[in-house]
Amino acid sequence: MRLRHAPWEENADFAIGLRAISPDAWLEGGEADPAVRKDPLIAAHPAETWAETEGSREAQAEALALVEVALGRHIAAEGQAPLLAAARATADDLCLMQRRDGDWRLTALCLCAPTFFTAAQVIGRSLADLHAPVEGFAERFLTRTRRVFDGLRQDLVLERRNWTLVNAAERFMPSAAAMRAQIPEIDPAESGRVLHLRVERQTLRRLPRTDSALFTIRVWITPLADLAEDRDRLSAFAKAWRSATPTFRNYKQLALYDRLIEVFLRAEGENYSVNGN
């Protein structure tokens, strides 16, 4: 089967997981006119999808210029915040990070495929505050992540992916509560169709003129049933589910899906039990 990203095959724990990619591979594209999807979301949910801080417009303009180079075309931005104009032209969500008060802070973002957070909740936050809900982040990753931001070089493009399991196919998911409330209603025989792997493909690069950084987020969603088309992929997923660390499982609330996953994997011929039997 064709699957663009399968990060669970590499990791079932929190990880920095950054790797350098070619600048040509920066934005994955493939969506003819992202504004068609994003504009109605931005109009209906302004505070969830867009936020900026004072003094961020110059760096926003640098981000816009970088996106224009990547897309190979001019983006009309008159009358709009530059980062908003750039985000409406790309499939990715765009987050601007700037050094403020001795730390890297989120100074503007356009977020149309949020995985359980909103622009209003995170605007202005430092790397430490953004990751406060991630158990162990401060001890395991914060210093290294700051160092990555400090050490970004021009033309270096970094990529990381994360994954979780959801029972929704929508990319716009500012909160998990309504979705999770529906889990008890799911017919286990429908698990492959109803459950989806949700991957965030993120990139990071430097904006040299304003000494800022641009973080991008692209969400890819695959029904679990698609994995069953390929035995190796299915086994790799079963292995990831079984080996996920307790903190990772707890943060992503994977236990809510254990029973459904067991039924799905057994129905597909995987010898799998959540009890290890």
What is the binding site for ligand HEM (CB under 6 A)?
14, 16, 95, 97, 106, 117, 122, 130-131, 133-134, 141, 145, 148, 160, 162, 204, 215
Residue with tokens 């409330």: 181
Q: Which residue is nearest to ligand HEM (CB)?
A: 162
Taking the least distance from each CB to ligand HEM, the nearer of 82 and 174 is 174
Report the nearest approach of ligand HEM to the CB of residue 140 (Å): 9
Taking the least distance from each CB to ligand HEM, the nearer of 85 and 214 is 214
Phi and psi at residue 135, to the nearest 5° = -60, 130
Taking the least distance from each CB to ligand HEM, the nearer of 10 and 187 is 10
Report the nearest approach of ligand HEM to the CB of residue 253 (Å): 11
Taking the least distance from each CB to ligand HEM, the nearer of 27 and 97 is 97
Report the nearest approach of ligand HEM to the CB of residue 97 (Å): 5
Report the nearest approach of ligand HEM to the CB of residue 234 (Å): 22
Cα 176 from Cα 181, distance rounded (Å):
9
Report the nearest approach of ligand HEM to the CB of residue 106 (Å): 5
Report the nearest approach of ligand HEM to the CB of residue 104 (Å): 7
Taking the least distance from each CB to ligand HEM, the nearer of 28 and 230 is 28
Taking the least distance from each CB to ligand HEM, the nearer of 27 and 106 is 106
